[in-house]
């Protein structure tokens, strides 16, 4: 079952989501929600989806960056983004415990702000502590595009949207982004 993707302006997108208990994580309701979120993410298509984006104010997000999503990008862009496939996984109650010192800028879009993009500076590396879909503790060390996805989704769980972090002068429609990609030395991204 596909879920409705909420757009900016919905209050749940600006609230801090609540922490889930072990019992809640393992419940049929949350396990079913994860499956529906995965279907919704694949249909969008997107690389990450946080529960607030579908109206659930809980600390739960999913990620999956399929190889086919970067298939049409020039190899130099894939390399610049440090983009490699990320298998499907779930993060629950995540915390970024360490940010790398190096920052990188790329354009980001969001399923909850359809049709627009902006240039966002983020840490190239992060360490995240969270629980998985079976409530098992997990530590994720990520770099490149994967680190960007984690930061973007964890922001959603804290009521932050990429427009809060972007260089406001780069905000553009996807159509204009595609027309003018690479202008002012910035390379395109999705």
23 among known catalytic residues: no
- Whether the Cβ atoms of residue 140 and residue 127 lie closer than 8 Å to each other: yes
CA–CA–CA angle 151, 6, 44 (5° rounding): 75
Pick from 53, 45, 96, 41: nearest CA to 69: 45
From 77, 108, 125, 153, the catalytic residue = 153
Contacts (Cβ under 8 Å, ≥6 apart) of 8: 112, 113, 161, 163
Catalytic residue IDs:
153
């Amino acid at each position: 079952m596909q879920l409705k993707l909420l757009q900016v302006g919905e209050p749940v997108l600006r609230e801090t989501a609540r922490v889930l208990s072990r019992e809640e994580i393992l419940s049929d309701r949350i396990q079913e929600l994860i499956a529906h979120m995965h279907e919704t993410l694949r249909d969008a298509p997107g690389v990450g989806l946080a529960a607030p984006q579908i109206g659930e104010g809980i600390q739960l997000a999913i990620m999956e960056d399929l190889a086919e999503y970067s298939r049409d990008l020039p190899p130099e862009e894939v390399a610049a983004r440090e983009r490699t496939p990320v298998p499907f996984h779930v993060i629950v109650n995540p915390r970024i415990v360490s940010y790398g010192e190096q920052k990188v800028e790329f354009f980001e879009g969001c399923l909850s702000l359809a049709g627009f993009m902006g240039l966002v500076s983020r840490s190239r590396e992060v360490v995240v502590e969270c629980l998985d879909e079976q409530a098992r503790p997990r530590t994720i060390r990520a770099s490149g595009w994967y680190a960007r996805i984690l930061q973007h989704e964890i922001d959603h769980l804290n009521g932050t949207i990429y427009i809060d972090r972007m260089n406001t002068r780069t905000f553009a429609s996807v159509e204009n982004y595609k027309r003018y990609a690479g202008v002012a030395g910035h390379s395109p991204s999705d």
